[in-house]
Amino acid sequence: HSVSFQHSFFFLFEKITQCICILRSFFSNKNIKWKLGVAMSSDTCRSLKYPYVTVTLKVADPSGQITDKSFEMTVPQFKNFFRQFKEMAAVLETV
């Protein structure tokens, strides 16, 4: 009984520590940066030719510490990302 409680506690603890929650992120136009690139070639494939976009967000954690978070998206991933934000805007308007 106590062993299973320990197991679920550690499981939950692990999940929480895996989730870096940065609430209260501050954005201004300078704090969203983007770059569009095309990967031409690599050591594994001489002819890649895929476009990708890199986005960098300036985020602040509750203590006020500001860090840059960067991530890459392929074209379909970006399109989905864009669509999600449009949906968000629509919901925010109606609430």
Partner 1 sequence: FGRLLKTDMDLNQLEAFLTAQTKKQGGITSDQAAVIAKFWKNHRIKIHESLINQSRWDNVLKNMNWRVDLKSQSRHIDQINTPVAIVEMELGKNGQESEFLCLEFDEAKVSQMLKKLSEIEESMTLLTQTA
The residue ranges that bind partner 1 (CB under 8 A) are: 18-25, 27-29, 32, 34, 36, 38-39, 42, 44-55, 57, 59, 69-75, 77-78, 80-82, 84-86, 88-89, 91-93, 95
- Decide whether 7 or 79 has the Cβ nearer to partner 1: 79
Nearer to partner 1, 3 or 95 (CB): 95
Give the contacts of 66 (CB within 8 A, at least 6 positions apart).
26, 58, 59, 60
Q: Quick check: 57 and 32 in contact, CB under 8 A? A: yes
Minimum CB separation of residue 84 from partner 1 in Å reads: 6
The amino acid occupying position 51 is P
Of residues 7 and 40, the one with the C-beta less far from partner 1 = 40
CA distance 51 to 36: 7
